[in-house]
Amino acid sequence: MGDKIKRIGVLTSGGDAPGMNAAVRAVVRTAVGQGIECIGIRRGWSGLITNDFVRLDGSSVSRIINRGGTMLYTARSEEFMDPVGREKAISTCKLLGLDGIVAIGGDGTFKGALALSRQVAEKGQRLSVVGIPATIDNDIGCSHYTIGFDSACNTAIECIDKLRDTMQSHERCSVVEVMGRHAGYLALYVGLAVGATSVLIPERSVDFENDVVENIRRARLAGTTHYMVVVAEGAGSVYDIASQIKNSLGIDPRVTVLGHIQRGGAPSARDRETASRMGYVAVQSLASQKGNRIIASVDGRIVDLDMEEALAMTKQFQMERYNILEALTNNGISRI
Ligand code: F6P
């Protein structure tokens, strides 16, 4: 074990997620409590390339626990994905005297963290990288939960409940797109929570006749006069789905794309609490000099895992939730 760590950097990167601020606060307050200095790197990994940073103390992170977005700003950095860009970042870390970095974000952020940790190791430099999972997509293989997911679900549910009111009055069909280019967790949880007629997700190939048309027919036969089709961004175009519904069933759906609204707003209790625990464990992990780690939620416990091992893990998609949704939506209301 080397000398006690003295100074760390913290950054948020990739798509923002409610609760990122709470995680930054936890990292800074835990570090300060242990006599470790904290530097905020602004605009994600690119801040390490452009020397964009700010010194943080306990009071710099006051009154942010309840705020959406990220006080450190965020970005996706192409330059950092290139070894030349990372070399510049490594020089900045040396210049700043950083012993460790806490990177808060999703899969893109973690790809950057892994690449950085390997390049640092090749150079024989001393710098530990710790990742905290924060993305509304909940798609980090090693962690059952990612900061921001619960808040995004609640935002989407609130919007869809409002949509349902008007769809019900006009006896219409609604096709709603929720975020998730590669992951259907948000769509599935939200679909289950709003009692959607159908949910389309990228993890399951879409059988339009069976998954959409048949569900609407059943609902219609059972006397329902409005239908809610929830589509994950990566499962297909909502406009194409709406026109297919029109062609197959002769009803004229309305399309709503919830978009970036799902990433905003005050973090939920679950996200503030998880972010606080993850931020705390991240700094403890750095302080105990375990090397490069990923913080994860495993069966409700917050643990730190070896980065290489953690990022090789994949998460089994929870298909049983899909089956429950099908059972609750399409059973009982009608059988033809
Ligand atoms: O990864 C989070 C996420 O919100 C995805 O669900 C979505 O597909 C993507 O980011 C959108 O990214 P951007 O902010 O670049 O539009």
Reported pTM? 0.96
Say yes or no: CB of residue 15 within 6 Å of ligand 1: yes
**23, two tokens:** 């995680």
> How many C-beta atoms lie closer than 10 Å to residue 170's C-beta?
12
CA of 247 relative to ligand 1 center, distance in Å:
31
| Residue 334 confidence (pLDDT) | 44
- Told to judge if 137 belongs to the known catalytic residues of this protein, a careful annotator would answer yes
- Give the torsion sign (CA, 27, 106, 53, 70): negative
CA of 156 relative to ligand 1 center, distance in Å:
15
* pLDDT average per 10 residues of sequence, the chain (336 residues): 90 98 98 98 98 98 98 97 98 97 98 98 96 98 98 98 97 98 96 96 94 93 94 97 97 98 98 98 98 97 98 90 85 47
CA of 251 relative to ligand 1 center, distance in Å:
31
Q: Which residues lie closer than 8 Å to 144 by C-beta, 6 or more apart?
A: 296, 297, 298, 299, 300, 315
Rounded to whole angstroms, the Cα distance separating 305 from 5 reads 19
Backbone angles phi, psi at 237, to 5 degrees: -75, 130
Annotate 24-55 with b (16+ C-beta within 10 A) or e (fewer). Answer: bbbbbbbbbeeebbbbbbbbbbbbbbbebbee
Say yes or no: CB of residue 136 within 6 Å of ligand 1: yes
| Residue 161 confidence (pLDDT) | 98
| Residue 271 confidence (pLDDT) | 98
Write a three-state SS string for 198-257: EEECCCCCCCHHHHHHHHHHHHHHCCCCCEEEEEEHHHCCHHHHHHHHHHHHCCCCEEEE
> How many C-beta atoms lie closer than 10 Å to residue 95's C-beta?
9
Say yes or no: CB of residue 42 within 6 Å of ligand 1: no
Rounded to whole angstroms, the Cα distance separating 300 from 248 reads 45
Collapsing DSSP to helix, strand or coil, 42 comes out as coil
Contact at 8 Å (CB) between 123 and 90? yes
Rounded to whole angstroms, the Cα distance separating 81 from 203 reads 27
